[in-house]
Amino acid sequence: MTDPAALRADYTRGNLDESDLADAWYPQLRLWFDTAAADPTVLEANAVQLATADAEGRPAVRTVLVKGLDERGLVFFTNYDSAKGRALAANPTASAAFVWLAHQRQVRVTGPVARVGRNETEAYFASRPRESQVGAWASPQSQVVESRAALDALAAEVAARFGDDPIPAPPHWGGYRLEPEEVEFWQGRTGRMHDRIRYRRCEDGSWVRERLAP
């Protein structure tokens, strides 16, 4: 049996100094993201752990794939009736963390969440593999299903219904944009004296950059 307390790794890949950082959060995140995406040892560089809380404040976290990244924030897509969709309807804020362990880096993004426009959803949906399009219609996401066979039967029904016709985006499915209010960059350092630097949006819309203790 492996003892979790006995697992230990040192962080020696790099450091994070203010003089090396971009003036704004987006170009810095883009630099780190592109570096991770270009590394064949990094699986799903666009994966984030997305944390939400429901109306009662109960938290939930899951991994989602970021499908849009620009100065406005992070975009991901899901069923509006899923657990995360219901939580965001009740409490439209979230925190997401990119974790690139191969580079001993992580980035945490926190802020309000809003649905993207329908045109953006439809454009992305049209780019998805057909099997994923079928799945978006077939899966009652986050609901209890009788069996895997029942789920496969739902997918078969959807595939038969559309035949060879284009599959439109379901009305219950679409994108959300996490609009950053805080973006924290973390670089592992030896002795657990990690570098943490946060970009934080002020009430007047300006941004400040500050170092946090590890």
Active site residues: 192
Report the length, in residues, of the chain. 214
Residue of 47, 85, 79, 84 lying closest to 169 (CA atoms): 79
Check residue 142 and give left, alpha or beta (phi > 0: left; psi -120 to 50: alpha).
left
Contact by Cβ (8 Å): 141, 79:
yes
Helix 148-162 vs helix 130-138: crossing angle, to nearest 10: 120
Question: What residues contact 143, with CB distance under 8 A and at least 6 apart?
Answer: none
Q: Are strands 105-115 and 68-70 parallel, antiparallel or unpaired?
A: unpaired
Tell me the residue type at 142: S
Nearest to 74 by CA among 37, 49, 57: 49
Residue partners of 5: CB distance under 8 A and separation at least 6:
none
Residue labelled with tokens 């429901």: 54
